[in-house]
A and B are shown apart, each in its own frame.
Chain A
Amino acid sequence: MDERYYDQSNEQKAIQTKYPSINKRFEYLDHTADVQLHAWGSTLQEAFEQVTTAMFCYITDLAVVEPLQTMEIEAEGGDMMSLLYNFMDAWLFNFCADPFFIPRELKVISLDRVNFKIRSIGWGEQFNLDKHPQESQHD
């Protein structure tokens, strides 16, 4: 996806140059009503991390989010698909409601493929309208 920076403020530019750039292994695919997130990795864990990063990149400009705090997220499911869904939903929920946390980067700590459980940790901060650009989210 084209990265065009619309009116990025000086503060935002400063933050972007302060940290190493985000490792992106995903793309957005066409869908008439919404968007498809296509992500990959050298391991399934990495693919899980990347698809969640893709979701947050759609919502704001992650390059401008600072890794100031951490948050741990766990999820489980009945099968692999519901596990992935519950995992992403858990991260999204913590963004939409208190603490409004947005992870710049996240890592899967453990992925149990037999019992469909996952544990992960993210580095980021609380979403702040004055600091982070609003991009898109379809309610």
Chain B
Amino acid sequence: MNPRGDSTSGSDGAAEPKRKSKKPRYSRFTQQELPACKPLLTPAIVVTTFAFIGIIFIPIGLLSLSASGQANCIPEQLQNDKVAFIQSSTTNKTCSRTLTVPKNMEGPVHIYYELDNFYQNHRRYVKSRSDKQLRSKASETETTNCAPEATTSDGSVIVPCGLIAWSLFNDTYSFAVNSKIIEVNKKNIAWLSDKEHKFGSDVYPKNFQMGGLIGGAKLNASIPLSEQEDLIVWMRTAALPRFRKLYGRIETDLAANEQITVTIQNNYNTYSFEGKKNLVLSTTSWIGGKNDFLGTAYLTVGSLCLFLAMGFIILYLLKPRTLGDPSYLSWNRNPDGHY
């Protein structure tokens, strides 16, 4: 540590036996001598950063906007409002609507149903499922979180159990142009990983929707869960109360001004919780469906940054920082000094 001088001028400086030193080995890490870069927000860096962000962001914004513009979207509101009507099993719930295609829509046209005020993200709702049961027949009895839709009243397990499956959406749509039925492809609407890994091919619906209170759709007990794609899509719970889910695809193109007749089986009860149902037809671009937010946001931030860059250039030119000017020192602005 310190160069401790020999205490005396004596001859004892000779050959003090070398003691085992516990002095830590020198390392640049412990001595805080690692090579370092010391970034500093200099005017050049600041202006460059802002300008760079602006220059990158504005094209991204434009690109996103145009991509979003290419995605067409026809939302159709469905508004029948009678809870009693929808709960009755005898009433005819078929209704039809006519839509006009505003622009050419190249196939595939994605068909979505949109629900509003439906909290699929509710804490208890989200948990009310059994992933093990969905995966394999062997785990059929694992229904831990599924109550009250775990077992039927006589105690036999429900497959698939839980509230999510129970509340499966069950409106159906069919489309016709000029009385000619347009085929709706309901295959491959679910994530591949879900079909292959989360829903077993040996798991068949059992005792489903047999209870007193009917939630939503019934399932064909002869089709394994891995092929029940509507269920699989539904079981991917949405994060927000307003969400869309893929219903199917129209593989053909739709020409502008075509009149599409949609026949709707209005089965799903959204009236009891004042929800809304929409039917959405949409094409996609590389960025997905139509949403101008990202595009405009990129444009906004990009221009803001360019503006800031210019602002700072002007600021730096008008008011260069004088080194050592005591008026910049914070304690000079704070009259009572040092403490």
A and B form one complex: no
- B→A interface (CB under 8 Å): none
